[in-house]
Amino acid sequence: MKEIVTLDHGSGGLRTSELIEQVLLPAYGNAALNELGDGAVLSDLGGSPVFSTDSFVVTPWRFPGGNIGKLAVCGTINDVCMAGGEPKYLSLALILEEGFAMDDLREIVASAAETAKACGVQIVTGDTKVVERGHVDGIYINTAGIGVLRAHGLGRSAIRPGDAVLVSGSVGCHGAAVMMARGDIPCEGTLLSDCCPLHALSKAALDAGGVRILRDPTRGGVATTLNEFVEHGPFCIELEEDAIPVDPAVAAACDLLGLDPLYAACEGRMLAVVDPTCVDAVLSALHALPGGEGAVQIGRVTTARPGQVMLNAAFGSRILSKLTGAQLPRIC
């Protein structure tokens, strides 16, 4: 008989203990977690904490290039990295649907554990709730992350005219891959989510110097994230359409659905605004790392249209506003 999650697994009693001891601890096990206290007691950080959280409700939970476990770990690690932190510790909280297959949970937990380990991050505390059949499509995950600040002064206020806008690779792959996994796209292909941790790329960029701000363009995509950099401020970002890397499979998928890759989510790409004198150093550092081979400058900061993002194309320019509809619900 297929082993499944039952409401008992969320009771806080005996079956919850079994789930923790048989499924979660073997995957995540470390000294802080193994104490099984109400909270984990951690080593001194030796610096300012960076703290972030995200909940993940992606459907389907498994997609080409990853699953919700990998995504939940990458997502929060990346947010800590983008805020200038070196990620150290994660919490991981599961909301499971009664009847979810225990083997699927094991697959998800294994992906989460593997991803965290690859980044030198420990999953030190967690929680498991189970809700009745018909809720949550199997599984939702929340992660929160603690890092230690290694780059001071990052942020919108550091941006200056003349700065370069870089992206670490092609855009919109995660959104397109999830669409494909939903069956929304009638083609087969090699389209994979870009879901991956950005700890190495962000460290390399910061070490190279001149970074003003970092951000991973998740929901709302590149266009929305760049708007957040300049909105209500005195500067403009001008993008060169020809310079923006879009995978042909992503372009085709978006074309079929009438979507714009500039608004499609990435889950393993990094946008960086960089001092113009440091562009070569940052790009060289990124090119040397897996996942950064395609890093490229896509635009620059100007004063042309304060507070706005412009896309310069062969036949003129247009304004790229923030995403105004729910282009794709449940993409992460």
Measured from the CB atom, the residue of 62 and 287 that comes closer to a copy of itself is 62
Taking CB under 8 A as the criterion, which residues in 255-284 touch a copy of itself? 263, 265
Q: In degrees, to the nearest 5, what angle opens at C-alpha 286 toward C-alphas 285 and 287?
A: 95
Q: At which residue do the structure tokens 């989460």 appear? A: 112
For residues 240 and 167, the answer to whether their CB atoms sit within 8 Å is no
Taking CB under 8 A as the criterion, which residues in 203-222 touch a copy of itself? 215-216, 218-220
Supply the DSSP string of 249-293, one letter for each residue.
HHHHHHHHHT--GGGS--SS--EEEE-GGGHHHHHHHHHTSTT-T
How many of the other CB atoms lie within 10 Å of CB of 306? 13
Judged by CB under 8 A, does residue 286 bind a copy of itself?
no
Judged by CB under 8 A, does residue 175 bind a copy of itself?
no
Judged by CB under 8 A, does residue 13 bind a copy of itself?
yes
Measured from the CB atom, the residue of 77 and 278 that comes closer to a copy of itself is 77
Q: Give the integer Cα–Cα distance in Å for 63 and 5.
A: 22
Judged by CB under 8 A, does residue 50 bind a copy of itself?
yes
Measured from the CB atom, the residue of 132 and 242 that comes closer to a copy of itself is 132
Among 28, 68, 79, 199, binds a copy of itself (CB under 8 A): 79
Write out the two tokens for 292. Answer: 């950064």
Taking CB under 8 A as the binding criterion, the range among 137-145, 242-250, 273-281, 293-301 that sits at the site for a copy of itself is 137-145
Taking CB under 8 A as the criterion, which residues in 18-37 touch a copy of itself? 35-37
Judged by CB under 8 A, does residue 62 bind a copy of itself?
no
Taking CB under 8 A as the criterion, which residues in 114-133 touch a copy of itself? 124-127, 129-132
Rounded to the nearest whole angstrom, what is the least distance from the CB of residue 189 to a copy of itself in the complex?
25
Judged by CB under 8 A, does residue 224 bind a copy of itself?
yes
Among 1, 2, 134, 186, binds a copy of itself (CB under 8 A): 134
Judged by CB under 8 A, does residue 8 bind a copy of itself?
yes
Burial of 15 (0-12, 13-18, 19+ CB in 10 A): middle
Residue among 266, 231, 232, 233 nearest 247 (CA): 266
Write out the two tokens for 239. Answer: 């993008």
